[in-house]
Amino acid sequence: MRAHHIDRPADLDVVRDSYDRVADNYAEMVATTGMGDIRRHPWLKASVDAFADSVAGLGPVLDVGCGPGTVTAYLAERGLDVSGVDLSPRMVENARRLHPECRFEVASATELDLADESLGGVLGWWSLFNLPRDVLPQVLGMFARALRPGGHLITGTHVGDEDFPRTEAYGGVPVRWTTYRWRPEQLVALIERAGLRPVAELRLPEDEFSGPGVVVMARRPG
């Protein structure tokens, strides 16, 4: 069986166009400053390494919202059968240019055609925060169904009590998107309701990261 249909958010095209505009600047910042390189953040690297160890041998891994492919490529180096998808065609172009050894496709998290129990792991690494509050639970449910028993989800996102409309990003480029921020306990509750069992949580204070954040890893029982 396939995952259930998820209604397309009305502003998805606007979000995609915004990320297309910042994609080149973002990829350049990654290349020149190491932004997004988990090797420079020991706790984030430890989280991704634990995820990689947990899903090794369980089947394909999907990096949803892969951007320029930095984490996808890192997991490929770890020996995983990993591919990346991103809403932004320009982000995917950069990912293919920077990491030609990896597989990348243009796709929205809301429009993935994932067979039940087809994946060993799913990442939503600081990539799901543009999903409206009524959409994120549906996407998490789709991920849960797509995971094989014993498969893992890892997600990281911004923490806060209020949503944050962005009007510029990455070098002052005009954008239009909303960062939907969650309290850690709210995100964990959504993951549990999706049918997954949280196994680890990492909270990141504001002065150690680009604003407060949280990483949650969860397992499909079975």
pTM: 0.94
User: Is residue 54's pLDDT more than 90?
Assistant: yes
Percentage, residues of the chain above pLDDT 70: 95
Count of beta carbons in the 10 Å neighbourhood of residue 100: 10
User: Is residue 117's pLDDT more than 60?
Assistant: yes
Annotate 68-97 with DSSP letters as a single string: TSHHHHHHHHTT--EEEEES-HHHHHHHHH
User: Is residue 119's pLDDT more than 90?
Assistant: yes
* Full set of structural domains in the chain with CATH: 12-219 (3.40.50.150)
201 close to 192: Cβ distance less than 8 angstroms? no
132-170, pLDDT tens digit by residue? 999 999 999 999 999 999 999 999 999 999 899 999 888
